[in-house]
């Protein structure tokens, strides 16, 4: 029976890790294009989940409409953050731009609170129905949706950056912005596209996790920090590292919750600190790195 309980915790940890991986991918997309850390990434998740709630619950729309609406609105918020705010900053110092994203995160949390209120909301599940039963083992289908979509998103991102013109343009900007501009690549719009893509990843994570985690206007801070930790653990800016770091962090949380539930975060972050002490560039990072 203990093994079955542990398996339940591990499955829940993997699903949480998939969400952290999606947030970490968003961090990596923005970092590779701009060199900054976007601390509003977690708020994209909340916006996506709450937009989906409005479409699905308040307006009674089909699930695919809620899914597309959440991803689209979060993507537009990311686009506005770059085009409407960051691109207009007089100073392009990285530290200043990071502080602007912190301010944007605070503003978005206040906006979310004013529109949807303080009460935590939960989305209807993607697949209506009972639990999946395999002998004595039971699982929520939503966990499988979260894990599967996260892996699919990673595969699509890999294809996008390797085989599409826009993806190659983003890689060129990440490698050398000045050289990319000299080659005729519209660098400002490529950077804006990276924020839009990061917003879409956050909105996707929000739709997936909304049915299993009650979300409030403050949830973006906590989930965003977990995604940031996953990105650092795997190798900041590495897409493969984001996926590995997210799943590993989720598994550590699952094991920690099984052993000592009140200290699961301490166990996970303790191992994270240990990895960074031994390998500060992360598990898949390199000393001198050109990621993507």
For the residues 225-240, what does the mean pLDDT come to?
A: 89
Q: What is the pLDDT of residues 14-37, one digit of tens each?
A: 999 999 999 999 999 999 888 889
Of 93, 92, 99, 54, nearest to 203 (Cα)? 54
pLDDT confidence band for 291 (50 / 70 / 90) = very low
Fold (topology level) of 7-126+139-278 = ABC transporter involved in vitamin B12 uptake, BtuC (1.10.3470)
Q: What is the pLDDT of residues 119-128, one digit of tens each?
A: 999 999 887 7
CA–CA gap between residue 203 and residue 149 (Å, rounded): 13
pLDDT, residue 85, reads: 93
**Where does residue 95 rank: exposed (0-12), middle (13-18), buried (19+ CB within 10 A)?**
exposed
What's residue 182's pLDDT?
87
- The pTM of the whole model exceeds 0.85: yes
Where do the domains of the chain lie?
Answer: 7-126+139-278
pLDDT band at 176 (very low <50, low <70, confident <90, very high): confident
Q: How many residues does the chain have?
A: 292
What confidence tens digit (pLDDT) does each residue in 178-209 have? 888 888 889 899 999 999 999 999 999 999 99
Per-residue tokens: 62: 């089909």
| Predicted local confidence at residue 290, as pLDDT | 46
Q: What integer pLDDT is reported at residue 275 of this predicted model? A: 77
pLDDT computed for residue 270 by the predictor? 78
Query: In this model, does residue 106 exceed pLDDT 70?
Result: yes
Q: Output the pLDDT for position 268.
A: 67
H-state helical runs in the chain: 2-34, 41-53, 63-80, 94-116, 141-163, 165-175, 177-182, 187-209, 219-234, 239-259, 264-278
Percent of the chain with pLDDT over 90: 52
């Amino acid at each position: 029976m203990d093994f079955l309980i542990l398996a339940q915790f591990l499955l829940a940890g993997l699903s949480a890790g998939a969400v952290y991986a999606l947030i970490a991918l968003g961090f990596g997309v923005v970092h590779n294009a701009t060199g900054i850390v976007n601390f509003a990434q977690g708020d994209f998740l909340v916006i996506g989940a709450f937009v989906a709630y409005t479409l699905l619950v308040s307006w009674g729309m089909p699930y695919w409409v809620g899914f597309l609406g959440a991803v689209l609105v979060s993507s537009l918020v990311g686009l506005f953050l770059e085009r409407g705010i960051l691109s207009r900053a007089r100073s392009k110092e990285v530290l200043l731009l990071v502080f602007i994203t912190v301010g944007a995160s605070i503003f978005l949390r206040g906006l979310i609170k004013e529109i949807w209120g303080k009460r935590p909301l939960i989305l209807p599940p993607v697949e209506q129905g009972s639990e999946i039963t395999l002998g004595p083992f039971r699982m929520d289908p939503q966990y499988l949706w979260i894990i599967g979509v996260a892996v699919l998103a990673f595969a699509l991102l890999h294809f996008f950056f390797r085989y599409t013109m826009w993806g190659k343009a983003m890689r060129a900007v990440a490698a050398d912005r000045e050289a990319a501009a000299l080659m005729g690549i519209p660098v400002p719009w490529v950077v804006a596209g990276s924020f839009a893509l990061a917003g879409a990843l956050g909105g996707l994570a929000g739709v997936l996790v909304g049915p299993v985690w009650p979300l409030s206007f403050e949830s973006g801070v906590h989930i965003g920090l977990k995604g940031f930790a996953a990105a650092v653990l795997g190798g900041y800016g590495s897409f493969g590292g984001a996926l590995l770091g997210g799943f590993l962090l989720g598994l550590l949380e699952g094991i920690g919750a099984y052993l000592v539930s009140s200290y699961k975060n301490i166990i996970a972050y303790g191992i994270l600190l240990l990895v960074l002490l031994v390998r500060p560039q992360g598990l898949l990072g390199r000393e001198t790195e050109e990621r993507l």
